Amino acid sequence: MSNYKMNTKCVQAGYTPGNGEPRQIPIIQSTTFKYETSEDMGKLFDLEASGYFYSRLQNPTNDYVAAKIAELEGGAAAMLTSSGQAANFLALFNLCECGSHIVSSSSIYGGTFNLIAVTMAKMGIDVTFVSPDCTEEELDAAFKENTKAVFGESIANPALTVLDIEKFAGAAHKHGVPMIVDNTFPTPVNCRPIEWGADIVVHSTTKYMDGHGAAVGGAIVDAGRFDWMAYKDKFPGLCTPDESYHGITYAEKFGKEGAFITKCTAQLMRDLGCVQSPQNAYILNLGLESLHVRMPRHVENGQAVAEFLEGHPQVSYVNYPGLPSNKYYERAQKYMKGGGCGVVSFELKGGRRAAEIFMKHLKLAAIETHVADARTCCLNPATSTHRQMSEEQLRAAGVPSGLVRISCGLEDKEDLIGDLKQALEAI
Ligand SMILES: *Cc1c(COP(=O)(O)O)cnc(C)c1O
């Protein structure tokens, strides 16, 4: 499939049925798999043969879908996880241990920020946050002897900052560590971080990949390029024998292409069990089959809504990387030529009260904490996710009380603009 274009891969990659086999990927709703001899099964446990024995580790339905996502991102191997949070945690923890350090962009999803800054800190894993707009010198200075990875989001949720992937990956490689990019918002249809130097790509498939608000899930893709053995001392988990797995050295046995995902599956999924159900993987695949058709429409609607809002007298500013007035416009043009995503945020001049009235009057855009759905939804952080904060704290956090985030769905853009227009008039 790798020679085909993105549109073809979205529809057909990952699963090729044989003669008389199901056209759609089968849902293998089975916890376990049967063998004729103990010897057959023993080979699987020793990672001497590939096959299935227990769905916590691997399941064929999940593997078809993971293989498709690997192809979409241009990676060598991939795995599914139960959520985006699980994908981020496993990707980082596959490299880190107590005493390790991570360099991360400060402009990331709130859940990931908590994961790294609070929960992983309790495990003895330290982080230095850097501005996504830091200079090369500032970025360089963030690295320590014990740094194991660099992390960032291609388009950050919810700030909509665009990451300079080449710059961050360049710094990571200079310091002998891999670059991890969360590519949830643009999806591989609009941005392929591996082409710009990323080593590992993670996703909350809950968002555009599923695209219908139907199934929570995550994915990890490895480009298969990072030379672990060249930095043996930094990555003992990959480069020295795993005593919990018959003394296997992942980087030796599975090489650059297979080491990261094999270790992450055989060791972390085995122990942590944050597996995606085959039912959810099937639903995710239905979403992937139309990802290349949906993403351009999300972008078209996002762009139209952003342009409409930018010209409206009730609106003080609009944040959308597709607007030439946006700070990240040039960077977005470089990394995502077909546009980024359908999420737009804007501030109402009338503050909290205006936001309340505006949202109450919306008919098509539902109030939800979700984004990246086929149905348009919106959120006022000041009265929901950031409710505990004072006016001053809200402003300092870059979420003034009149800020509204709207995730443009797949409806007709004229209907969406009409809906926004009448709700703005009600203020
Ligand atoms: C939603 C989101 C996550 C978390 O994913 P879940 O599937 O909700 O666990 C991580 N990163 C980004 C960029 C997200 O938007």
Whether residue 333 is contained in a domain is answered as yes
User: What pLDDT score does 188 carry?
Assistant: 98
What average pLDDT does the segment 218-231 reach?
Answer: 98
The answer to whether residues 146 and 212 belong to one domain is: yes
The answer to whether residues 128 and 101 belong to one domain is: yes
The answer to whether residues 299 and 348 belong to one domain is: yes
User: What pLDDT score does 395 carry?
Assistant: 79
Show Cβ contacts of residue 358 under 8 Å, excluding neighbours closer than 6 positions.
348, 404, 423, 424, 426, 427
Residue 50 pLDDT > 90, yes or no?
Answer: no
Q: Which of residues 287, 322, 354 is at a domain's end?
A: 287
What is the span of the domain harbouring residue 372? 292-425
Whether residue 269 is contained in a domain is answered as yes
Domains contained in the chain, number: 2
Ligand 1, residues at Cβ distance < 6 Å: 83-85, 88, 109, 111-112, 153, 157, 182, 184, 204, 206-207, 216, 218
Q: Which of residues 241, 256, 287 is at a domain's end?
A: 287
pLDDT digits (tens, 9 = 90+) for 19-35: 999 999 999 999 999 99
The answer to whether residues 231 and 344 belong to one domain is: no
Residue 117 C-alpha to ligand 1 middle, in angstroms? 16
Residue 382 C-alpha to ligand 1 middle, in angstroms? 20
The answer to whether residues 145 and 227 belong to one domain is: yes
Residue 17 token pair: 């049925």
The answer to whether residues 254 and 166 belong to one domain is: yes
The answer to whether residues 167 and 229 belong to one domain is: yes
Residue 66 CB neighbour total at 10 angstroms: 27
The answer to whether residues 329 and 264 belong to one domain is: no
The answer to whether residues 283 and 311 belong to one domain is: no
pLDDT digits (tens, 9 = 90+) for 296-343: 999 999 999 999 999 999 999 999 999 999 999 999 999 999 999 999
User: What pLDDT score does 40 carry?
Assistant: 87
CATH of the domain at 166: 3.40.640.10
Q: Containing H/E element for 284?
A: helix 278-288
Residue 399 token pair: 């979420």
Whether residue 315 is contained in a domain is answered as yes
For a ligand 1 pocket test, name from 206, 275, 276, 277 the mutation site with the most ligand atoms within 8 angstroms of its C-beta.
206
The answer to whether residues 58 and 109 belong to one domain is: yes
Q: Whose CA is nearest to atom 2 of ligand 1?
A: 204
| Alpha-carbon span 219 to 285, nearest angstrom | 12
The answer to whether residues 268 and 315 belong to one domain is: no
CATH of the domain at 338: 3.90.1150.10
Ligand 1 atom with minimal separation from the 218 CA: 7
| Amino acid making up residue 215 | A
What average pLDDT does the segment 403-427 reach?
Answer: 97
For a ligand 1 pocket test, name from 85, 191, 220 the mutation site with the most ligand atoms within 8 angstroms of its C-beta.
85
Residue 22 C-alpha to ligand 1 middle, in angstroms? 32
Decide: 155 and 186 in contact? Cβ < 8 Å. yes
The residue that leads in pLDDT, 224 or 3, is 224
- Alpha carbon 426 to its chain centroid, in Å, reads 37
Whether residue 83 is contained in a domain is answered as yes
Q: Tell whether the torsion through CA atoms of 92, 97, 98 and 103 is positive or negative.
A: negative
pLDDT digits (tens, 9 = 90+) for 109-150: 989 999 999 999 999 999 999 999 999 999 999 999 999 999
Ligand 1 atom with minimal separation from the 372 CA: 15
Q: Whose CA is nearest to atom 15 of ligand 1?
A: 157
Residue 160 pLDDT > 80, yes or no?
Answer: yes
Whether residue 60 is contained in a domain is answered as yes
The confidence band for 384, taking pLDDT boundaries of 50, 70 and 90, is: confident
The answer to whether residues 311 and 181 belong to one domain is: no
Residue 40 C-alpha to ligand 1 middle, in angstroms? 39
The confidence band for 152, taking pLDDT boundaries of 50, 70 and 90, is: very high
Q: What is the DSSP letter of 54?
A: B
Residue 135 C-alpha to ligand 1 middle, in angstroms? 27
Average pLDDT taken over every residue of the chain = 95
Quickly list DSSP for 289-316. TTHHHHHHHHHHHHHHHHHHHHT-TTEE
Residue 85 C-alpha to ligand 1 middle, in angstroms? 6
Whether residue 1 is contained in a domain is answered as no
Q: Which of residues 271, 287, 303 is at a domain's end?
A: 287
Residue 130 C-alpha to ligand 1 middle, in angstroms? 20
User: What pLDDT score does 246 carry?
Assistant: 85
User: What pLDDT score does 398 carry?
Assistant: 74
SS3 181: strand
Residue 162 pLDDT > 80, yes or no?
Answer: yes
Whether residue 334 is contained in a domain is answered as yes
Partnered with residue 152 across adjacent β-strands are 181
